[in-house]
Amino acid sequence: MTLPRIALIHFHLESNRAAPITTRSDFSAQRLIVGKDFARDLEEKPALASAGIRGFREEFGQFCPVPVFAAFAGAGGMIDGLFFDELIQVIRDQLPADVDGVYLDAHGACIATHDEDPDGTLISLVREIIGPDTPLAVTLDLHAHVSPAMIEGADFIAAYRTNPHVDQFERGQEAAAAMKRLLKGDKTGRALVRLPFIPPSTTQDTTRGPYARLMTEAIARAEHPIWNVSLCAGFSVGDSAKAGVNVTVTADTSEEALKTARKIGQSFWDARHEFQVNLTSIRDAVSMMSDMETARIYADVADNPGGGGRGNTLAILETMLDASVENALVGMLFDPDLAAEAVEHGVGAKFQAQFNRSESDVQSGHLTVDVEVVKLAKGPVDCRRGLYAGGQQDLGQCALLRCGSVFIIVTSIRRQLCDPAFVERFGLKIANFSTIVVKSRGHFRAGFDEFFTPDRVVEIDGPGLTSPELSRIDFTKTPRPILPIDSGVEWSSEAAGCVAGRN
Ligand SMILES: [Zn+2]
């Protein structure tokens, strides 16, 4: 029996237009691996593959993988256009026209400096190379901005259903199941409905509140002849030309798909007033920290590296040090200079730490304080809970510093603190702290829920590039009018949407 040859592509960047441009070196520092090297990695270090690819492989069973590239940079600014063109060239060079199928694990909210829809460009190119009859299955993040080009090129689209994201592996499995049907000759129709509504990031929790209810309703509609429903929030602070809640449906026909997408879109629109932001000021949060009896986790939601935040704003830490907060941990601050300096001084050394000496973003701030180097760490961490569970993440050179009774984790790769393993690697016990401050918008919830119930979570209103207070974002490309930035926005599901594929 000849095994099917299925090409694998992993392209992941969530673009925040306000963040510095994401370059080749940002990808190289995280994951950029092409062709044969990607094939070798799949063989020798399967845990480094994306959860989507791991899920796809597990579900599909035996096939002959044709790895094209894996390019992962988490979240950052727009992708540098020249580098994106390089990736496009890699596809032209490495993707054989005669593969039996293609699985693309993408984020779906990338912006390039010269292209508002690079995910669509990539999908269109794959389609151009493989022709109209070879299956292309795509998985996306829940924060994706799906475009007409994406539903035109892909036979099947499945976006994460969870936020915090914990179902990437399952969506990869779902893509594999769809791929099997497509390889047998089944055809699909797709539909896309976009709403002029941006739910603020902190209101997009699928474990409780309106999004949870709407997601459950949407999933219930994924019955024959519907293959999949994808209810994407979009990336609220991305300032994408494709911004807004978007519903993508894959079905036996585009007519069925559109009917279902419109129903789901209407439900979301009807619930739009339920998506309310509820943040605590830095001052109030810091005074709560003096209550040592009640352990809490405080989320610096406005400086979330997972949304392109710099991961280094100091306003909360500064206020904590001024208030002499005790028994606290703050993480993770992205500061490669400081991490390197901590290594030079060595464990046990005390020195004057200058935070953000090379940072130019005014919201980040500067701080000089006396610290002690408690511990150093380097290399990949085995992730155990939430977003990265079961995989590995490299945080680069890291240092655990102490200032008074506040422990501070410094990293040299920008990453949100969403997995307890990032703290435990230093020998620290989460349960011993009465205050944990994390730079994360929401993914920390799935990592730290074993220590903190939802009533022990405080979302802080600080400075940064990922504030859920959308009135503070300078939107330039987002289609207007759009809620909640504008008022008097009208929308009707009956006229909404576009379709592709079998009708
Ligand atoms: Zn996401």
Residue environment code for 463-483, b if the CB has 16+ CB neighbours within 10 A, otherwise e: bbbbbbebeebebeebeeebb
Length of the chain: 503
The closest alpha carbon to 405, from 276, 232, 289, belongs to 289
Taking the centre of ligand 1 as the mean of its atom positions, its distance from the CA of residue 273, in whole angstroms, is 22
Q: What is the DSSP string of 149-166?
A: HHHHH-SEEEE---SS--
Beta bridge partners of 15: 76
- Do 352 and 251 belong together in one domain? no
Taking the centre of ligand 1 as the mean of its atom positions, its distance from the CA of residue 108, in whole angstroms, is 9
Taking the centre of ligand 1 as the mean of its atom positions, its distance from the CA of residue 307, in whole angstroms, is 8
Structural domain includes residue 38: yes
- Do 255 and 292 belong together in one domain? no
Taking the centre of ligand 1 as the mean of its atom positions, its distance from the CA of residue 41, in whole angstroms, is 25
Residue 154 confidence (pLDDT) above 80: yes
Taking the centre of ligand 1 as the mean of its atom positions, its distance from the CA of residue 160, in whole angstroms, is 8
Structural domain includes residue 259: yes
Do residues 192 and 144 lie in contact, with contact meaning Cβ atoms separated by under 8 Å? no
Residue 321 is part of which domain span? Answer: 280-467
φ/ψ of 305, rounded to 5, equals -55, -25
Taking the centre of ligand 1 as the mean of its atom positions, its distance from the CA of residue 418, in whole angstroms, is 13
Taking the centre of ligand 1 as the mean of its atom positions, its distance from the CA of residue 233, in whole angstroms, is 9
Q: What is the mean pLDDT of residues 298-318?
A: 97
Taking the centre of ligand 1 as the mean of its atom positions, its distance from the CA of residue 141, in whole angstroms, is 5
| Residue 45: how many other CB atoms lie within 10 Å | 12
- Do 269 and 155 belong together in one domain? yes
What pTM was estimated for this model as a whole? 0.93
The closest alpha carbon to 167, from 237, 215, 210, belongs to 215
- Do 104 and 174 belong together in one domain? yes
Taking the centre of ligand 1 as the mean of its atom positions, its distance from the CA of residue 343, in whole angstroms, is 33
- Do 268 and 288 belong together in one domain? no
Taking the centre of ligand 1 as the mean of its atom positions, its distance from the CA of residue 350, in whole angstroms, is 39
Residue percentage of the chain with pLDDT more than 70: 100
Residue 496 confidence (pLDDT) above 90: yes
pLDDT in tens, 220-232: 999 999 999 999 9
Taking the centre of ligand 1 as the mean of its atom positions, its distance from the CA of residue 204, in whole angstroms, is 10
Q: Which two tokens stand for residue 44?
A: 């020798």
Q: What is the DSSP string of 335-356?
A: -HHHHHHHHHH-TT-EEEEEET
- Do 200 and 285 belong together in one domain? no
Taking the centre of ligand 1 as the mean of its atom positions, its distance from the CA of residue 345, in whole angstroms, is 37
Give the whole-angstrom CA distance, residue 442 versus residue 444: 5
8-state DSSP, 427: T
- Do 149 and 45 belong together in one domain? yes
Structural domain includes residue 482: no
- Do 43 and 97 belong together in one domain? yes
Taking the centre of ligand 1 as the mean of its atom positions, its distance from the CA of residue 465, in whole angstroms, is 16
Residue percentage of the chain with pLDDT more than 90: 98
Structural domain includes residue 484: no
Structural domain includes residue 435: yes
The closest alpha carbon to 312, from 330, 331, 334, belongs to 334
8-state DSSP, 386: G
Taking the centre of ligand 1 as the mean of its atom positions, its distance from the CA of residue 14, in whole angstroms, is 8
The closest alpha carbon to 10, from 62, 48, 45, 43, belongs to 48
Give the whole-angstrom CA distance, residue 233 versus residue 440: 17
Taking the centre of ligand 1 as the mean of its atom positions, its distance from the CA of residue 83, in whole angstroms, is 23
Taking the centre of ligand 1 as the mean of its atom positions, its distance from the CA of residue 451, in whole angstroms, is 23
Beta bridge partners of 499: 191
Give the whole-angstrom CA distance, residue 150 versus residue 159: 13
Residue 247 confidence (pLDDT) above 90: yes
Taking the centre of ligand 1 as the mean of its atom positions, its distance from the CA of residue 187, in whole angstroms, is 29
- Do 138 and 261 belong together in one domain? yes
Structural domain includes residue 396: yes
Taking the centre of ligand 1 as the mean of its atom positions, its distance from the CA of residue 16, in whole angstroms, is 12
Q: How many domains does the chain have?
A: 2
Taking the centre of ligand 1 as the mean of its atom positions, its distance from the CA of residue 144, in whole angstroms, is 7
Taking the centre of ligand 1 as the mean of its atom positions, its distance from the CA of residue 50, in whole angstroms, is 14
Q: Which two tokens stand for residue 84?
A: 């994106």
Classify residue 416 as left (phi > 0), alpha (psi -120 to 50) or beta.
beta
- Do 43 and 189 belong together in one domain? yes
Taking the centre of ligand 1 as the mean of its atom positions, its distance from the CA of residue 316, in whole angstroms, is 24
The dihedral of CA 358, 364, 368, 372: what is its sign? negative
Confidence class of residue 47 from pLDDT cuts 50, 70 and 90?
A: confident
pLDDT in tens, 167-187: 999 999 999 999 999 999 999
Structural domain includes residue 473: no
Residue 1 confidence (pLDDT) above 90: no
Taking the centre of ligand 1 as the mean of its atom positions, its distance from the CA of residue 165, in whole angstroms, is 7
What pLDDT was estimated at residue 298? 98
pLDDT in tens, 422-481: 999 999 999 999 999 999 999 999 999 999 999 999 999 999 999 999 999 999 999 999
Taking the centre of ligand 1 as the mean of its atom positions, its distance from the CA of residue 309, in whole angstroms, is 14
H or E stretch covering 367: strand 367-377
Taking the centre of ligand 1 as the mean of its atom positions, its distance from the CA of residue 142, in whole angstroms, is 5
Taking the centre of ligand 1 as the mean of its atom positions, its distance from the CA of residue 346, in whole angstroms, is 37
Give the whole-angstrom CA distance, residue 463 versus residue 189: 44
Taking the centre of ligand 1 as the mean of its atom positions, its distance from the CA of residue 387, in whole angstroms, is 10
Do residues 50 and 70 lie in contact, with contact meaning Cβ atoms separated by under 8 Å? yes
Taking the centre of ligand 1 as the mean of its atom positions, its distance from the CA of residue 351, in whole angstroms, is 38
Taking the centre of ligand 1 as the mean of its atom positions, its distance from the CA of residue 159, in whole angstroms, is 10
Taking the centre of ligand 1 as the mean of its atom positions, its distance from the CA of residue 374, in whole angstroms, is 33
Taking the centre of ligand 1 as the mean of its atom positions, its distance from the CA of residue 3, in whole angstroms, is 33
Structural domain includes residue 295: yes
Q: Which two tokens stand for residue 450?
A: 């074993």
| Residue 1: how many other CB atoms lie within 10 Å | 4
Radius of gyration of the chain (CA): 22
- Do 261 and 292 belong together in one domain? no
Cβ neighbours of residue 378 closer than 8 Å, sequence gap 6 or more: 396, 397, 398
- Do 31 and 76 belong together in one domain? yes
Give the whole-angstrom CA distance, residue 314 versus residue 444: 19
Give the whole-angstrom CA distance, residue 144 versus residue 165: 13
Beta bridge partners of 9: 69, 104
Do residues 167 and 160 lie in contact, with contact meaning Cβ atoms separated by under 8 Å? yes
